[in-house]
Structure 1
Amino acid sequence: MLGDAIGATDGNVPASGTLRATSAGQLACFTIEGMIRSHVRDSQGDYRYPRTIWHAYHRWAAGQGIAGIERWQEQDWPDGWLASVPVLKKRRGSAPATVAALQKGVPGRLGAEVYTSIGAHALTRCLPVGLYNRRPWWEAATAAASTHAAEATHAAALGATIVARLSEGQQLARAVDLAERECAADPQLRQGVSVAAAMAAAGSHPRRTEVLTRLAPDARASSALAGGAYVAASFPGREDVKDALLFAASVGDGGHVAAVTGAFLGASHGFDALPVDLVSRLELAWVADTLARDLLTELLDVPAGTGYTPATDPHWGDRYPCW
């Protein structure tokens, strides 16, 4: 969320005031909420992950007031606490490929492309899937494939898997190596994207504007992934996070690169490495913190209960209806 908001400033962060999210940050929030709902449903014996994530993006679009979006129920739509957050109803740029797919009402599927976009939203909104960490490459690719084409889907799979390995404590170079192997082992992802060139460039020519411009020349998901990997590898220290995000945001389509950089460095170092002076101004700080805590609670405690254990929180199902 911090990388997304800094990216929106093109690296020229104002001295005061709120740091606003973009549509990418908003969609990432709904990805996390969809993950939680999916786990609630799965814990009760009914696995519907792809449909639950697809439903989550409909709630975002409904809150935005976008025309042509299917209502999934007549009453209390969109439901759940996240849909009632006022700032998530604010237009913060566009997500044309995602909106077009939602308006069409037909989700794409991994291995059976429906849509042609290779834009970066497929990647940025799916980076949090790495925190789910069952099969992060498959889960991220499935979520991305609902609205985007194979190249963007593969970038999402690799990006989320890097996040998963970083969150386990791996160093970035090792996390990238493991993630590329895991994605390559899946037959549906073998023609995927690689960030090996970006990592090599960071080793030989770090922190170079011209290198970042070459690696991330446009708003493709693969460009954002390569740029984010290059910046994260060029600024590896906990004390470098702020400089890394400002550098990422300053070049070309830096908003997407900054979001990827923030996800990688955040997964590497933890939230307490994030610059407090910027986080304290972050528009979605409370929302992101609440989602992170609730995801952890869901995965560890399963408060809505299972087919074998009773619910420990009678209101959890109202916060996260399992559909």
Structure 2
Amino acid sequence: MVAHEDPHQEYRRRVAGMQSRVRGLMLGLALGDTVGAARGGPPTAGPLRAGVSTQLACFTAEGVIRAMVRGRHKGVCHPPGVVLHAYCRWAALQGVEAARMRRRWASHPSDRPWPDGWLAGVPALAERRGSAPATVTALSRIEDPHSRIAVPSRGCHALTRTLPVAVAGPQWAEQAGEFAALTHGDPAARSTAAQAAVLLQHCLTAPRPDGPADPADRIAREALEAGIAALPSGPGRALGDERQRLAAAFRHALDRPAEPALLARLAPDASAPAALLGGLYTAASFPRRDRFGAALAFASGAPDGDSVACVTGALLGAVHGAEALPVDLVSRHELAWVLDVLARDLLAQIEDSPSGSEYVPGWDPHWWDRYPGW
């Protein structure tokens, strides 16, 4: 008797696999941010505190969901504007120009309090966890009548906070650059965020191992190499140079893996390009599932270890999935539940649009309250 496979089984497996990788990306960046800030030596007991990159990445993920909700219900959406609103909610919770933020956003016709959405109720997101000077300076100009608030910076937060955008798919890679450019005006910040989105998309969609004999390190390196190959190389010299630098960092990881001096040369400062180069070099140097902790510890030794480890954690988490992350670290991270919910909800919005659309009713009556479309 021939057994017939459930026609929905393959779909369920695909969604479960993608969910693991999206969760891995979100939790991985957070662990990297935390371990990197501790220079590779986080406390052995007690809660692990989130960094400012993780806080901002949470609001990026929420902003992407809300942009998708708006597009579904209104038929038109400008995602950078919705994500800018998300960053302003973070700033208001942090006490950054809170009165100015309220004048800009709370006057929007609404019967709900502002900041709105469930994420604004998370206490840890209202606590100061390091500095993000370019982001804060730009957001403080939110009432500028000329509306161009970005400062001339290529700082790492333009990259680390936009890492979740990769989940939304290839068409959102340029949006990652737009989100970075909201506050960071240097062209390198924009291009680096877009490049990271492409690399992460290839990690998220890399083939699964065929079995125990199929080495995961091969899959990780092939995903990174394919991502580099997919990066735009023109027009102009800048894009080609950036792609060549990433390709060189990848080759270094194959020929001279895990050399601290080489990491320091690739990632000498707290800029977005340095964080991506250092994160790529580290991820390719430690491609195995069981070396995630060692990868973060090594990345933490970079001059700006938290940004490099943040990128490293996102890349490896995306390719290996949440199950590859060290349980002793994930279980103690104060935002683990928040990150997990955001990861699942982001994928749910992409796959199923729980709030429906302008013409189709949704199956979750509370989704709009959780993710208002503005």
TM-score normalised according to structure 1 size: 0.93
What is the rounded CA distance, in whole Å, between the counterparts of 2:68 and 2:205 in structure 1? 20
| Cα 1:141–1:278 shift into 2, 3 Å | same
Give matches, 1:138-287, under 5 Å.
138-148=174-184, 149-169=186-206, 171-184=219-232, 190=239, 193-194=242-243, 195-287=246-338
Within the alignment, does 1:116 sit opposite 2:165 as a pair?
A: no
Give the conservation status (yes or no) of the 8 Å contact 2:170–2:201. no
Tell me the SS of whatever aligns to 2:136. helix
What is the rounded CA distance, in whole Å, between the counterparts of 1:314 and 1:186 in structure 2? 46
Within the alignment, does 1:312 sit opposite 2:343 as a pair?
A: no
Larger Rg computed on CA atoms: 2
Task: Give per-residue Cα distances to partners, 1:12-56, cap 9 Å, x unaligned.
Answer: 122112111111110000000000001101112122211101110
Name 1:27's counterpart in structure 2. Answer: 56
Task: Note the residue ranges of structure 2 that are not aligned, 5 or more in a row.
Answer: 1-29, 208-218
What is the rounded CA distance, in whole Å, between the counterparts of 1:10 and 1:114 in structure 2? 30
Give the conservation status (yes or no) of the 8 Å contact 2:233–2:240. no
Q: CA deviation at 1:179?
A: 3.7
What is the rounded CA distance, in whole Å, between the counterparts of 2:351 and 2:154 in structure 1? 35
Q: CA deviation at 1:177?
A: 4.5
Tell me the SS of whatever aligns to 1:139. helix
What is the rounded CA distance, in whole Å, between the counterparts of 1:41 and 1:186 in structure 2? 33
| Cα 1:22–1:108 shift into 2, 3 Å | farther
What is the rounded CA distance, in whole Å, between the counterparts of 1:163 and 1:180 in structure 2? 10
Name 1:92's counterpart in structure 2. Answer: 129
Name 2:101's counterpart in structure 1. Answer: 70
What is the rounded CA distance, in whole Å, between the counterparts of 1:213 and 1:154 in structure 2? 22
Give the conservation status (yes or no) of the 8 Å contact 2:67–2:82. yes
Q: CA deviation at 1:134?
A: 3.8
RMSD of aligned Cα (Å): 2.2
What is the rounded CA distance, in whole Å, between the counterparts of 2:273 and 2:223 in structure 1? 17
Instruction: After the TM superposition, list the runs of 4 or more consecutive aligned residues in structure 1 that deviate by more than 6 angstroms.
Output: none
Name 2:19's counterpart in structure 1. Answer: none
Q: CA deviation at 1:193?
A: 2.8
Tell me the SS of whatever aligns to 1:193. helix
Name 1:59's counterpart in structure 2. Answer: 89
What is the rounded CA distance, in whole Å, between the counterparts of 1:175 and 1:97 in structure 2? 32
What is the rounded CA distance, in whole Å, between the counterparts of 2:274 and 2:187 in structure 1? 14
Task: Give per-residue Cα distances to partners, 1:280-303, cap 9 Å, x unaligned.
Answer: 111110110010111111111111
What is the rounded CA distance, in whole Å, between the counterparts of 1:7 and 1:229 in structure 2? 15
What is the rounded CA distance, in whole Å, between the counterparts of 1:108 and 1:193 in structure 2? 31
| Cα 1:234–1:23 shift into 2, 3 Å | same
Say how many residue pairs are matched.
321
- Give me the identity figure in percent: 48
Q: CA deviation at 1:95?
A: 0.7
What is the rounded CA distance, in whole Å, between the counterparts of 1:155 and 1:211 in structure 2? 20
What is the rounded CA distance, in whole Å, between the counterparts of 2:44 and 2:281 in structure 1? 27
| Cα 1:283–1:300 shift into 2, 3 Å | same
Task: Give per-residue Cα distances to partners, 1:219-278, cap 9 Å, x unaligned.
Answer: 010000000000000000000101101111123111000000000000110000001011
More displaced stretch, 251-260 vs 167-176 = 167-176
What is the rounded CA distance, in whole Å, between the counterparts of 1:174 and 1:47 in structure 2? 35
Give the conservation status (yes or no) of the 8 Å contact 1:137–1:183. no
Q: CA deviation at 1:113?
A: 9.6
Task: Note the residue ranges of structure 1 that are not aligned, 5 or more in a row.
Answer: none
| Cα 1:201–1:92 shift into 2, 3 Å | same
Task: Give per-residue Cα distances to partners, 1:164-185, cap 9 Å, x unaligned.
Answer: 1110016444444444454426
Q: CA deviation at 1:108?
A: 10
Task: Give per-residue Cα distances to partners, 1:124-183, cap 9 Å, x unaligned.
Answer: 001111111142321110110111121111111111111111100164444444444544
What is the rounded CA distance, in whole Å, between the counterparts of 1:278 and 1:191 in structure 2? 38
What is the rounded CA distance, in whole Å, between the counterparts of 2:62 and 2:240 in structure 1? 30
Give the conservation status (yes or no) of the 8 Å contact 1:238–1:269. yes
| Cα 1:13–1:114 shift into 2, 3 Å | closer
More displaced stretch, 301-310 vs 181-190 = 181-190
Higher relative contact order (CA 8 A, sep 6+): 2
